[in-house]
Amino acid sequence: MTHTEMLQAHPSTQEGVDVSALADCIAACFECAQVCTACADACLAEPMVAELTRCITTDLDCADVCAATGRVLTRRTGTDGALVRSLLEACAAACATCAEECEQHAGMHEHCRICAEACRRCEEACRALLATL
């Protein structure tokens, strides 16, 4: 079952919501949360872990924001539009910050390169959904 199928099966509909953009954003949020958590864990396993403290913290913050955003976006009954917009803006900002941090380490750590790419995808998905609201 895909996010799109589940969203379309929901009996509550919201005027003006692009279900495809919503499904893409939910998927990007959950993927980013998982990738950021994995990147933080990989950073902890690096021999120079002390130099990756900011990266680890940024990864974990981004993972938490993305997971919360994905969960809230999944709920369609009685959605508060202002809250959704605020969450999307916060998620895009967290993803941009995390991507910037991971990009600094991408040349040395493949996990940081992968994480930066996932963060950029999620940031773009959040901004794309925001543009439809």
* pLDDT in the model for residue 83: 92
Helices 81-105 and 53-74: angle between axes, nearest 10 degrees: 150
Mean local confidence (pLDDT), 102-129: 97
Give the single-character DSSP code of 11.
Answer: S
pLDDT digits (tens, 9 = 90+) for 54-87: 999 999 999 999 999 999 998 876 678 899 999 9
| Contact assessment for residue 18 and residue 132, using Cβ atoms and an 8 Å cutoff | yes
Tokens found for residue 7 = 């969203």
Q: How confident is the model at residue 2 (pLDDT cuts 50, 70, 90)?
A: low
Residue range 18-132 in CATH 3.30.1360.200: no
Q: What is the pLDDT of residues 11-52, one digit of tens each?
A: 566 566 788 899 999 999 999 999 999 999 999 999 999 999
pTM: 0.91
Q: Where are the domains of the chain?
A: 18-132
Neighbours of 78 (CB within 10 A): 7
